[in-house]
Amino acid sequence: MALSRSSVLTLVVGALALSDTDIVNITNFPQCGYPNCVTSDQLTPSHLGCTTPQLTVGCLCSEAPTPLSCYGSGPSDQNNCWYELEDWFSGACGGMVPVIQANTLPECVQKCVFDYLSTSGCKSDTRNCFCALATAPTVTAVGNCYNQNCTSKMAYSFSAASWQDDTCKLGQAATYDQASYDAYIKKVHDTRIGVTVISVLFFFVIVVWGCSVAERESGAGASIIAVACVILLIILVPVYTAL
């Protein structure tokens, strides 16, 4: 089943809509994960943080952040058990599978993060699969995505560790404030253009002056032009590296 990254799909099985209060049938839970999840009682409502006496659709599919964490590991090239668990979950929830919401990430990092999920074995962007990946390597990878694709001066506004923690423990990270990031980028862009234009105009004025001096004293004229070049670099290099 193809899963969307946009919004949680409607709870529909055939023509029948599932209700949050419907009881989940765990007798058909994949045998490869049965001992870890069912026999061990890790799929009980109390263990998942729900208050219902029985495992309901609402508990499994909405309230529990990572119900498939009971399996103990994520996708693997060694066996297909994880994918069987995700197929079962999708069926039990009628297609209502929580996914990683793109708007909880800065736009500059989204493609890199979702590519990482894909190369890590997640066939879709489900929260179950993302949170089943080893925490430390995942946080490092997301952090690297940010460092490689986003401006370093806005790094304080996004924490890969906090984002991963909120997604897997709370069930959803807050929507990222993309407007503030975009405003900062525009400010940096405008500042660079303004400083560059003024600096280049000043440089040409000095060069013209240096050329006129060189007609009388070649050494003095060359020195003036050299100083102008140094000043231009002193002004522009920080503007394009520090901002």
Domain end among 41, 68, 92: 92
pLDDT for the residue 243: 58
Q: Is residue 2 part of a domain?
A: no
pLDDT for the residue 3: 40
Same domain, 16 and 88: yes
* 59-73, 162-176, 204-218: range with lowest mean pLDDT: 204-218
Q: Could you tell me which residue, 85 or 191, shows the higher pLDDT?
A: 85
Domain end among 170, 192, 225: 170
Q: Is residue 4 part of a domain?
A: no
pLDDT for the residue 131: 95
Q: Is residue 7 part of a domain?
A: no
Taking the C-alpha atoms of residue 114 and residue 100, their distance in angstroms, rounded to an integer, is 9
Same domain, 18 and 81: yes
pLDDT of 15 > 50? The answer is: no
Arithmetic mean of pLDDT, 70-79: 87
Q: Could you tell me which residue, 155 or 37, shows the higher pLDDT?
A: 37
pLDDT of 169 > 80? The answer is: yes
Calculated CA dihedral for residues 221, 224, 226, 229, nearest 10 degrees: -130
Number of domains into which the chain is organized: 3
Taking the C-alpha atoms of residue 113 and residue 119, their distance in angstroms, rounded to an integer, is 10
Same domain, 115 and 165: yes
E strand or H helix that includes residue 13? strand 12-13
Taking the C-alpha atoms of residue 235 and residue 230, their distance in angstroms, rounded to an integer, is 9
Same domain, 72 and 43: yes
Judge whether 82 and 73 are in contact, CB under 8 Å. yes
Judge whether 90 and 97 are in contact, CB under 8 Å. yes
Mean pLDDT taken over the chain = 85
pLDDT for the residue 109: 92
